[in-house]
Amino acid sequence: MRRETLTAIVGVAVLALGISGYIAADIADRVPGFLTTAEVPSPADPPELPADSGQSLATFSTPEGEPVLSSDVAQLWASVAQSAEEGQWRAWGNVIDARSGEVLLDASASQAHTPASTTKVLTAFAALKTLDPASTLTTSVQVSGSELFLSSEGDFLLGAGTSDPDDVNGRAGLADLAEEAAAALVNAGTTNVTLNWADSPFDGPDRLEAWTAQDVQGYVGAVGAMAIDAGRTAPSVYTFVDDPESTVAAVFAQRLQERGIAVTLGGASSGLEGAETIATIQSAPLGEQIRWMLYNSDNTLAEQLGRLSAKARGVETSFPGAVSVIRQTLEESGVPTSGLSLGDCSGLSSDDRIAPQTLVGAINVSLASTGPLADLPRSLPWAGLNGTMERRMTGGGAYANAQAKTGTLGAVSSLAGIVQTSTGRILVYAIGSENVPDDGGALTRPVLDAFVTGLADL
């Protein structure tokens, strides 16, 4: 269980509200409850495309188009293989025709490789299979006498201010929660309270030992009951609070005080006996949170979704429990998992291993799905338009056409997604580089992007 002194709690909360800045890092690539049975939403529409793009989202209603020849794909891959040989790094890849299932490229496709953040494709797959994407996460305040208890079903994208209906991050704002709670307290004649809060409901450590050994622990925050902006100390930075729950409590206390309620901070607890709920706020639907995680390649939210999936499956809510759900959901769907070995749900560890055919299989199953999984392909960032693909493939046939989850570690760069050919054929791909002598992303991204652009032009 995590604990902080009152001074540290308030200090971190002020820091979270007051600091602004941006730190770029290759490594980041840059429920009521989650068991409810709300209506499954249709996949969201693709982003508005530029008028001159000439592209639209590839779907199974698209005419079949001319089949792609494996020899043409092999010719494109020859350039990648040559670059790998000259640069003394290793290339791997798998490309299939989504409609026919024909394998168009098998470059170590059944062998496991370091996936980096393309791991998040599998995390999203498991979450969409396990959680209800239409459901929201409730953050609530309960009262018993002059004691308050702040808890959440796991919303890690709380906002410090008012709720923002147009954004996933901050959809549920603590200022609105405080407004509702303060009104109820004043109405009951209570203006002086002690605030306690829920501690992390999950099992095991917050940090993977491998992250510390590999010196990447700074790119991910702690999972837990609730957090503001995935636990960041300020917008768009890669520094995280140690105890996200106490930070939320400190900010909420400040919001109550702004509304005339005197607050003494207590500590983490399991709740209040006989308490009454006086205020609630709702997160963005889980389906939107999954998309936000993929667009932003958010490591912390990926780990949080993994723990929520483990909780929904009734397994240990630890790193091993969360990754076991990924394997289980893949195997239930007939996706090959040979060689799959994961220590986390974000792909931050360089010890993670995924075969390209597993990534391709997960995406292809999603394309054919009529259920929640159907939203996975549309939740991948679009080339040249948004997310971690905003500055990738900004020209040629892949622009506003290819979608992919990116992955970057020090010696690794990877892509997994879909692309539509010039005649309308849909191809699913997973490609990557590893053992790159220098900066894996900077050296091999252009090579991988050129290959996907070549697929689009077929």
Q: Domain residues for 276?
A: 136-290
Q: What is the CATH number of the domain that holds 268?
A: 3.50.80.20
DSSP assignment of 29-46 equals T----TT--PPPPPPPPP
What is the per-residue pLDDT for 55? 41
Q: Is 275 left (phi over 0), alpha (psi -120 to 50) or beta?
A: beta
Rounded to an integer, the average pLDDT of 279-296 is 96
Instruction: Note whether 180 and 76 are same-domain residues.
Output: no
More confidently predicted of 41 and 140: 140
H/E stretch holding 323 reads: helix 319-332
SS3 label, residue 103: strand
Rounded Cα distance, 31 and 154, in Å: 7
Model confidence pLDDT, tens digit, residues 152-192: 999 999 999 999 999 999 999 999 999 999 999 999 999 99
Instruction: Note whether 105 and 74 are same-domain residues.
Output: yes
In a domain, 48, yes or no: no
Instruction: Note whether 140 and 283 are same-domain residues.
Output: yes
Rounded Cα distance, 118 and 120, in Å: 5
Residues 6+ apart with CB under 8 A from 425: 64, 65, 66, 67, 68, 97, 99, 458
Rounded Cα distance, 292 and 13, in Å: 24
Yes or no: say if 394 and 53 are a contact pair by the CB < 8 Å rule. Answer: no
* Domain boundary pick from 265, 290, 315: 290
pTM to 2 decimal places? 0.88
What is the per-residue pLDDT for 438? 77
What is the per-residue pLDDT for 266? 96
Rounded to an integer, the average pLDDT of 237-252 is 95
Nearest CA-CA partner of 412 in 442, 383, 452, 387:
442
Lowest mean pLDDT, pick from 4-18, 118-132, 224-238, 360-374: 4-18
* Domain boundary pick from 269, 290, 311: 290
Instruction: Note whether 438 and 385 are same-domain residues.
Output: yes
Rounded Cα distance, 398 and 422, in Å: 10
Rounded to an integer, the average pLDDT of 408-428 is 94
Instruction: Note whether 217 and 174 are same-domain residues.
Output: yes
In a domain, 190, yes or no: yes
Q: What is the CATH number of the domain that holds 372?
A: 3.40.710.10
Rounded Cα distance, 255 and 176, in Å: 9
The DSSP symbol for 420 reads E
Straight-line distance from the first to the last Cα atom of the chain, in angstroms, rounded to the nearest whole number? 55
Please give the structure tokens belonging to residue 372.
Answer: 């929640």
Yes or no: say if 429 and 80 are a contact pair by the CB < 8 Å rule. Answer: no
In a domain, 364, yes or no: yes
SS3 label, residue 94: strand
Instruction: Note whether 168 and 246 are same-domain residues.
Output: yes
Rounded to an integer, the average pLDDT of 426-441 is 88
Q: Residue 191: how many CB atoms within 10 A of its CB? A: 14
Nearest CA-CA partner of 243 in 254, 234, 231, 255:
231
Rounded Cα distance, 445 and 48, in Å: 26
Q: Find where tokens 């902080």 sit.
A: 4
CA 335 vs CA 165, 218, 247, 328: distances in Å: 36, 32, 40, 10
SS3 label, residue 179: helix
In a domain, 75, yes or no: yes
Residues 6+ apart with CB under 8 A from 112: 338, 339, 340, 341, 353, 354, 355
Residues of the chain above pLDDT 90, percent: 80
Instruction: Note whether 273 and 166 are same-domain residues.
Output: yes
In a domain, 3, yes or no: no
Residues of the chain above pLDDT 70, percent: 85
Instruction: Note whether 170 and 261 are same-domain residues.
Output: yes
Residues 6+ apart with CB under 8 A from 329: 125, 126, 129, 130
Instruction: Note whether 85 and 144 are same-domain residues.
Output: no
Mean pLDDT over each residue of the chain, to the nearest integer = 87
Rounded to an integer, the average pLDDT of 297-314 is 98
Instruction: Note whether 109 and 160 are same-domain residues.
Output: no
Model confidence pLDDT, tens digit, residues 310-319: 999 999 999 9
In a domain, 361, yes or no: yes
* Domain boundary pick from 255, 290, 325: 290
User: Residue 399: pLDDT above 70?
Assistant: yes
User: Residue 373: pLDDT above 90?
Assistant: yes
Rounded to an integer, the average pLDDT of 415-432 is 95
Instruction: Note whether 111 and 142 are same-domain residues.
Output: no
Rounded Cα distance, 33 and 421, in Å: 41
Please give the structure tokens belonging to residue 348.
Answer: 């931050």
Angle CA 43–46–52, to nearest 5? 160
Rounded Cα distance, 413 and 187, in Å: 57
Q: Residue 285: how many CB atoms within 10 A of its CB? A: 20
What is the per-residue pLDDT for 444? 92
Confidence of residue 83 (pLDDT cuts 50, 70, 90): very high
Instruction: Note whether 195 and 285 are same-domain residues.
Output: yes
Instruction: Report the amino acid identity of residue 289.
Output: Q
User: Residue 29: pLDDT above 90?
Assistant: no
User: Residue 229: pLDDT above 60?
Assistant: yes
Rounded to an integer, the average pLDDT of 342-366 is 97
In a domain, 42, yes or no: no
What is the per-residue pLDDT for 13? 38
Q: Find where tokens 């652009």 sit.
A: 453
Q: Residue 197: how many CB atoms within 10 A of its CB? A: 27
Rounded Cα distance, 63 and 69, in Å: 17
Confidence of residue 238 (pLDDT cuts 50, 70, 90): confident
Number of domains making up the chain? 2
In a domain, 74, yes or no: yes
